[in-house]
Amino acid sequence: MILKDLRTQYLRPGMIMFAFLMPFFMFFSFAVRRDMAAAQGVARLLALTTFFTASAAGPFIIPLERRVGTYDRLLAAPMSLLTLLAGKAAVGALFAMGVSVFSLLVGVVAFGATIARPWLLVAGITLGSFSFSALGLIFGSIPTRNPGDVQMPSTLLRWALMFVSGVFIPLAEMAPAARAVAYISPLTYAQDLMNHAVLGMGTLSSWLDLALLLACGLLFMVPPVLMHRRARRLGY
């Protein structure tokens, strides 16, 4: 399913726009004319890439598959719903990891950034990609055949999560109230983890960041399962 999805869905113009170009646009729109070290920029770009790329897959691909009927093929196949959804999350995560590697290469080659803790970078990109891909599945589980119906609410939520997170204003510089809100966003932990990995320092414990990203990923798998069951029961 992974190879099939990568070949059939991920090179569509919508996916290239929302999953590949969007994080770069977001990064450059906030990075230009700001005094930022290369490593700091790379950490932000990596967090944004995993977040936007991984979370774009579900809301775009599942409604498209519903429209052409191929999603029914998967639902009727001999596998559990959880297996299907975990597979979809894995494809989105793999794609986000690939784009993150590209972002990393841009950072290292073009800006001369260095990586302080490579293993943490690998763990952060992997866990972050899976967690955000599962977040995208929540929107992909809205029973519609039109990706446009899902893009609007998913984009709204993702932007809100981005703005309240510590991507553009470091956690340490936030007012206590803003920091409390930032902890709601899983992107905050991904950003802090990237800071640990690239810069060698972060605000929270890197282990806490990893644990919370894993917890978010697992938690985000619950609504898609419930939403699919509900759709099957009510016939949506």
Partner 1 sequence: MSEAIVVENLTKVYGRPGTGLLAVDQIGFEVHEGEVFGFLGPNGAGKTTTQRMLTTLLEPTSGRIVIFGHDLARDAYPVKRQMGLVPEESNVYTELTAWDNLMFTAQLYRVPRHERAQRAQQLLESFGLWEKRNVRVENFSKGMRRRLSIAMAIIHRPRLLFLDEPTPGLDTQSAHAIRDLIRQLNAEGTTIFLTTHQIEEANQLCDRVAIINHGHIAAIDTPERLKAAFRRVQSVEVALEPDGQTHGGALSALAGVTHVVKMGDKWRLYTQDPSMLLPQVTDYARASGLRLISLSTLGPSLEDVFLELTGQQVGTIRHDMAEEGPRRRGMKGQMGGGR
Element (H, E) at 104: helix 81-105
Using the CB atoms, write b or e for 174-193: b if 16+ within 10 Å.
beeeebeebeebbbbbbbbb
- Minimum gap (Å) between residue 217 Cβ and partner 1: 25
Q: How far is the CB of 230 from partner 1 (least distance, A)?
A: 10
Looking at beta carbons only, is 75 or 169 nearer to partner 1?
75
Neighbour tally for 234: CB within 10 Å = 8
Task: In angstroms, give the least distance from the CB of 83 to partner 1.
Answer: 11
Question: Where along the sequence are the contacts to partner 1 (CB under 8 A)?
Answer: 1, 4, 7-8, 68-70, 72-80, 229, 232-235
Nearer to partner 1, 187 or 227 (CB): 227
Distances in Å between the Cα of 210 and the Cα atoms of 45, 70, 99, 194, 215 are 18, 35, 20, 11, 9
Q: Give the residue with the Cβ less far from partner 1, 7 or 33.
A: 7
Closer residue to partner 1, CB minimum distance, 21 or 232: 232
Smallest gap from Cβ 10 to partner 1, in A, equals: 10
